């Protein structure tokens, strides 16, 4: 009934608040906890979420992508996870995968503001990566060669 649905929502909010605090303060402990939980149940989305948060806190973007991809396989319609996966792909320096994910999300739901924002962010990141602006700095784009004017005789 209504009470059980509200309880699930509150449990989810408290769980994500716990993860946020734990990630900042003790990501290594979260990693150990996730490993223990995954040893018991390799398909535990809770354990995979904990692994993803631990990886974020420890600066392990590839591990975070792995955990969120595993959740995607188990829960392909989980929009919160898909957005987190897109952000993880960006953090891992792979904007092309974030862009592809945003396109898939928008194909299913064209007016999804969060997916539109992911697409914009991924597009910018991909452009920066392709043009090398990051190495030069955004304030100093590649110089443009202007041909010298023709001299009339």
**Secondary structure of the chain in the HEC alphabet?**
CHHHHHHHHHHHHHHHHHHHHHHHHCHHHHHHHHHHHHHHCCCCHHHHHHHHHHHHHHCCHHHHHHHHHHHHHHCCCCHHHHHHHHHHHHHCCCHHHHHHHHHHHHHHCCCCHHHHHHHHHHHHHHHHHHHCHHHHCCCCCCCCCCCCCCCCC
129 pLDDT tier (thresholds 50, 70, 90): confident
- Give yes or no for a contact between 44 and 70, defined as CB atoms under 8 angstroms apart: no
Angle at 16 between CA 56 and CA 20, to 5 degrees: 45
Give mean pLDDT, residues 93-121: 94
pLDDT at 25 (0 to 100): 66
pTM value is 0.71
pLDDT level of residue 2 (50, 70, 90 thresholds): very low
Buried b (16+ CB within 10 A) or exposed e, 99-125: bebbeebeeeeeebeebeebbebbeeb
């Amino acid at each position: 009934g209504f009470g059980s649905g509200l309880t699930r929502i509150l449990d989810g909010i408290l769980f994500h608040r716990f993860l946020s605090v734990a990630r900042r303060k003790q990501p290594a402990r979260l990693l150990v906890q996730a490993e223990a939980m995954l040893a018991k149940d390799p398909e535990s989305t809770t354990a995979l979420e904990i692994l993803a948060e631990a990886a974020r806190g420890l600066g392990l973007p590839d591990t975070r992508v792995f955990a969120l991809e595993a959740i995607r396989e188990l829960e392909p319609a989980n929009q919160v996870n898909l957005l987190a996966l897109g952000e993880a792909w960006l953090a891992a320096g792979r904007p092309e995968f974030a862009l592809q994910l945003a396109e898939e999300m928008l194909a299913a739901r064209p007016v999804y503001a969060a997916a539109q924002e992911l697409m914009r962010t991924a597009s910018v990141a991909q452009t920066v990566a392709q043009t090398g602006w990051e190495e030069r700095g955004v304030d100093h784009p590649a110089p443009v060669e202007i041909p010298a004017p023709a001299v009339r005789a």
